[in-house]
Amino acid sequence: MSTYQELPSIYRLKRSLTDVDQIANEYFEKILDLNPVQATELGRKGVETLYPDYSPAGEKAFARLTKKTLKKVDNVLPIDDVDLVTLDALQERLSLYRKQYKAGFGGWQMNNIASVPQEVRSVFDLMKRNTQQDWEHIIGRMHRVTEALEGYIQTLEAAREEGKVAPRRQVDIVIEQTAAYYAPGGFFDELAAEVAEAVPSLKDEATAGAEAAKEGYRRLNSYLVEKLQPVAPSRDAVGRKAYSLHSRSFLGTTIDLDETYAWGVKELESIIARQSEVAEEIEPGASIERAKQLLDEDPARQLHGTDELKAWMQKLADAAVENLAGSHFEIGGPMRRIECCIAPTNEGGIYYTGPSPDFSRPGRMWWSVPEGEDTFTTWRETSTVYHEGVPGHHLQIAIATALQGTMNSWRTNMLWVSGHGEGWALYAERLMEELGYLKDPGDRMGMLNAQRMRAARVVFDIGVHCEMPIPAEWAEQLGVEPGTIWTSELGYEFLKLNLDESEGHLRFEFLRYLGWPGQAPSYKIGERLWLELRDQAVRRGDDIRAFHTRALLLGSVGLDTLRRALTDEMMLPLDTEDDDDEDEDEDDDFIEVDD
């Protein structure tokens, strides 16, 4: 029996390929041609040793593809509901990219988690490690690192000459990260040792490959230190105009920044109030801090070492799949498999990577453990496992992957909007509480901890990047006058009050929010819309399970597209706001966004 035949029948509905699907599939394939890293993630063969062109020419090629695809989209007619959603999503995503490209966004922007220096390294985490050829591919790609990073340096230099340089904090952290990659005993030395252990005859080639990759990062590091660091601006805030574009990228909708900021402040207050109620359950009269202390000191809630952490994650993730399959969601065949892993880096953060299109590589939950941390508490992370696994990311992404016979490859394998995906995963944590999986007050405190962090990020991210006034209730705690404008430093103190994290993880998150504007709030803002849509469905008399099924069968789309699809308000065509008379070579003047 094939993998596809093992999937639940609801995901195996056959549908003829339409003109809209053809456009989306062509776009998908051409993106993979331009981006071998993404192609590796999606299991394409023949590109295992390659990297994208990170030079300005590479960025221009992608911009040209976007423009041409938009023109095709404007001249095609949908024939069914799947086409309607595809066109809506394509026009929203591609027109946004055009706006960002004209505004000067690009690879020169860097941060500590999702920019080119991390992508060049992290692709090795997703490469196969089963056969000798797999290990040879890893060696081959190590030899390509320098070439890839040289193209990236060209982009950085071209941007620097135009006055576009990432903020100093982001340059500094990338300098720190890249130095760790090429340090003796660092990532590439460990990777070479892994190759040699698997295939001893490849030891010398692996060592040479590691040295080649390290040289690429040495050159990048030197460029950052010598050229960018001296001119990198100290200002972290991107300003309201740029922030609005960043935010839409992660949400698929344009929000009222002032209203959302005020909502975030109120949501944070509500969550803190709930934490106080749970603290009372843990110990009568206990403060939130006292309750957390008691939970941390409980031996039954402690895990020691990454092996125990990994085993606990796997057990909890497997149990969620087993319990929810059939009763609340359709989960079957290869969708039931999720693999919990300790990430090969120490940068902090927990994340999920989806299965390959044929499910030969399972969906994986990764935990990047900061250096020196070896004790973990289950109460803090129970809801995180549900967030990353089932019913969170693993469920939604596995469903999207399973829908390959129903919709086009772009929607099933490539389209990802954080507000939709992360909003669903945060909603999944709340859903597990509603279903009774967080009856333990410690686990509920952990879920509220996560909710508090996500609400605080709405306040921090919009507040700092848009230079909003600090709310009176927090100004007092921060020791400043009401109405004081947020600074990064005051934002860090605010995060310390609301994010119950280790110093290493807190620093990672702080830098991430500053360098990746709009991403962190997308979780809570996305959850807000998911809850609104569910409440609307309930008021219409819909069954909640049916609502979940209908919504997840759409795959990941922007929040405007999601709302239109679930409320039968899909309207086409959308205004792409593109210029028909622009030069085909994409030599448009940038519209600077430097508010």
pLDDT digits (tens, 9 = 90+) for 162-215: 999 999 999 999 999 999 999 999 999 999 999 999 999 999 999 999 999 999
In the predicted model, is pLDDT for residue 491 greater than 80? Answer: yes
Mean model confidence pLDDT for the chain: 92
In the predicted model, is pLDDT for residue 576 greater than 90? Answer: no
In the predicted model, is pLDDT for residue 498 greater than 50? Answer: yes
In the predicted model, is pLDDT for residue 568 greater than 90? Answer: no
Name the band, by pLDDT with cuts 50, 70 and 90, for residue 12.
Answer: confident
Are the C-beta atoms of 455 and 271 separated by less than 8 Å?
yes
H/E stretch holding 377: strand 375-377
Give the model's pLDDT for residue 347.
Answer: 67
In the predicted model, is pLDDT for residue 434 greater than 90? Answer: yes
CA angle 7, 9, 12 (to 5 degrees): 80
Q: Which residue has the tokens 């027109």?
A: 95
Distance (Å) of CA 272 to CA 289, 379, 438, 444, 448? 11, 17, 18, 13, 8
In the predicted model, is pLDDT for residue 17 greater than 70? Answer: yes
CA angle 587, 593, 595 (to 5 degrees): 165
In the predicted model, is pLDDT for residue 583 greater than 60? Answer: no
Give the model's pLDDT for residue 584.
Answer: 43
d(CA 364, CA 351): 8
In the predicted model, is pLDDT for residue 521 greater than 50? Answer: yes
Average pLDDT, stretch 566-591?
49
Average pLDDT, stretch 141-167?
98
Name the band, by pLDDT with cuts 50, 70 and 90, for residue 570.
Answer: low
Name the band, by pLDDT with cuts 50, 70 and 90, for residue 4.
Answer: low
Give the model's pLDDT for residue 574.
Answer: 41
Average pLDDT, stretch 492-511?
91
**Would strands 338-342 and 363-367 be described as parallel, antiparallel, or unpaired?**
parallel
d(CA 469, CA 115): 30
Give the model's pLDDT for residue 403.
Answer: 87
DSSP letter (8 states) at residue 467: T
Are the C-beta atoms of 167 and 515 separated by less than 8 Å?
yes
Give the model's pLDDT for residue 577.
Answer: 45
Give the model's pLDDT for residue 84.
Answer: 95
H/E stretch holding 351: strand 350-353
DSSP letter (8 states) at residue 366: E
Among 239-248, 366-375, 382-391, 428-437, the minimum mean pLDDT is found in 366-375
With 0.85 as the threshold, say if the pTM is over it.
yes
Average pLDDT, stretch 234-259?
97
Distance (Å) of CA 9 to CA 45, 262, 330, 331, 569? 28, 45, 9, 10, 28
pLDDT digits (tens, 9 = 90+) for 365-381: 999 888 888 899 999 99
Percent of the residues in the chain that have a pLDDT greater than 90, as a whole number: 82
3-state secondary structure of 291: helix
Give the model's pLDDT for residue 358.
Answer: 86
DSSP3 helix / strand / coil % (the chain, rounded to 5) = 65, 5, 30
Chain mean position to CA 512: 11
In the predicted model, is pLDDT for residue 317 greater than 50? Answer: yes
DSSP letter (8 states) at residue 186: S
Give the model's pLDDT for residue 591.
Answer: 33
Are the C-beta atoms of 145 and 217 separated by less than 8 Å?
yes
Average pLDDT, stretch 324-349?
88
Give the model's pLDDT for residue 573.
Answer: 44
Among 387-396, 467-476, 537-546, the minimum mean pLDDT is found in 537-546
- pLDDT higher at 351 or 246: 246
Are the C-beta atoms of 75 and 69 separated by less than 8 Å?
no
Peptide bond into 573 cis (omega under 30): yes
Give the model's pLDDT for residue 373.
Answer: 86
In the predicted model, is pLDDT for residue 580 greater than 60? Answer: no
Percent of the residues in the chain that have a pLDDT greater than 70, as a whole number: 94
In the predicted model, is pLDDT for residue 522 greater than 50? Answer: yes
d(CA 436, CA 235): 46
Name the band, by pLDDT with cuts 50, 70 and 90, for residue 43.
Answer: confident
